[in-house]
Structure 1
Amino acid sequence: MTQDPRAFIRDVTEVSQPPACPEIDLWLATEVTPLWEATEAALLRVNLPPPYWAFCWAGGQALTRYVLDNPELVRGKRVLDFAAGSGASAIAAALGGAVQVLAADIDPLACAVIPMNAELNGVVVDVADGDIVGQECRWDVVVAGDVCYERPMTDHILPWLRSLAAAGAVVLMADPGRAYLPKTGLRELARTTVRTSLELEDRDAREVVVYRIEG
């Protein structure tokens, strides 16, 4: 990268609060395209995937809200926030009293912003950089927000998430109606409407369902 990742993040984002979980401060972008272009320039690469880390997507907001409203889910537990993005759900778990929180993401900038966001909220979140799919279960609770937006992604992660559930973990997934959400093996826990940006979605609000994945 052409500059320090933390400095870059501070340059292209600002501290704000997601609509569904205003208790949490995050370094977030206000526009997609300028940030996307700045990221490509900073990394000296083109055709990068969208900067998911700089936005708190509808699924992530709903999942974070659910964790905040149900702290007994994570209190005293080891928690994994998978495909963590900004790390909002990991922060909610830490605020809820989890004894250990790991946020995992394959995007290096996500792994840089998660500790920054944790600092904003006065909590500690460990970070795993890279694809952890296939690792043995060492968590009590696993949360994943909005991860079924592409078939290859769903096909890659879903068998592993189900194996974690079969191993005894509580595995939660929040989905705002993505095309590749599995039709079976999910138990609905809650649903909520989350305000969204037309820069990110095709509407200004989405209904999001929080599911528990059955092993």
Structure 2
Amino acid sequence: MKPSSAARFIAEHCPVQPVPDLPHIHLHLAVPQSGIWRLAADGEPPYWAWCWPGGLALAHHIAANPEMVEGRPVIDLGTGSGLLAIAAALAGASQVTAIDADPNAIAATTLNAALNTVALTTECRDPLDGPAFENATICVGDLFYAADLALRVTTFLDRCLAASCTIWVGDIGRAALPRNRLTPVSSWTIADFGHGASAPDTPSVVYRYSAIQ
């Protein structure tokens, strides 16, 4: 599906909803009636269609601590819906770049940025094997869900750290987290959408990424 067609599909089938406990942010999010898996035929599953707990925790942390991004260039790595990019822009980041390899995620992020009246730069690419970002704040939500991807992300973030980046990670505690590089800074009780409305909320943690400890 072309980006313009994907954007129309998202606008028509994913209703605008407030982000849980962050009602100042609204996103196009999937509901059971959305038929969102029709977009999965284009490549990646539609991860961008829901709020994942690690990204939610980091968005909450940014809203509670705007000084962590205020006046700084911010990169949302694996942006998905654009939640972290939007949270950073609303918190006063000087420049925000939202990056994702899935063109449908970029279509969703563009719609969501307009919905929240923030200015973002979007890039549809996989940067992990390329040059490191320099002198930026990098936000990483829920990217350590598979061992092979986690290794690539960790290797890339190590290079970014050496290039004077500040890195924040939000995650629900997945097995592939590089725990020897992570210092917890806050914990948030987040509803995990994948387990149904009756499931208990799950603590998600925000970490500062640093050199091997």
TM-score normalised by length of structure 1 = 0.90
* Contact persistence 1:139–1:169 (CA under 8 A): yes
Deviation (angstroms), 1:203:
4.2
Which amino acid is the alignment partner of residue 64 of structure 1? A
Match of 2:136 in 1: 140
Number of residue equivalences: 209
Pick aligned residue for 1:125 from 120, 124, 131: 120
SS in structure 1 at match of 2:193? coil
* Contact persistence 1:198–1:204 (CA under 8 A): no
Match of 1:59 in 2: 54
| Structure 2 unaligned residues grouped into runs of 5+ | none
Which portions of structure 1, spanning 4 or more consecutive aligned residues, are displaced by more than 6 angstroms? none
* Contact persistence 1:195–1:205 (CA under 8 A): yes
Deviation (angstroms), 1:50:
2.4
TM-score normalised by length of structure 2 = 0.90
Match of 1:178 in 2: 174
Deviation (angstroms), 1:66:
0.8
* Contact persistence 2:78–2:100 (CA under 8 A): yes
Deviation (angstroms), 1:34:
2.9
CA distance in 2, matches of 1:76, 1:16: 28
SS in structure 1 at match of 2:62? helix
Match of 2:14 in 1: 13
Deviation (angstroms), 1:103:
0.4
CA distance in 1, matches of 2:97, 2:17: 23
Deviation (angstroms), 1:58:
0.6
Which amino acid is the alignment partner of residue 136 of structure 1? A
Percent identical across equivalent pairs?
Answer: 35
Describe the shift of the 1:146–1:203 C-alpha distance in structure 2 as closer, same or farther (beyond 3 A).
farther
Match of 2:154 in 1: 158
SS in structure 2 at match of 1:24? strand
| Structure 1 unaligned residues grouped into runs of 5+ | none
Match of 1:194 in 2: 190
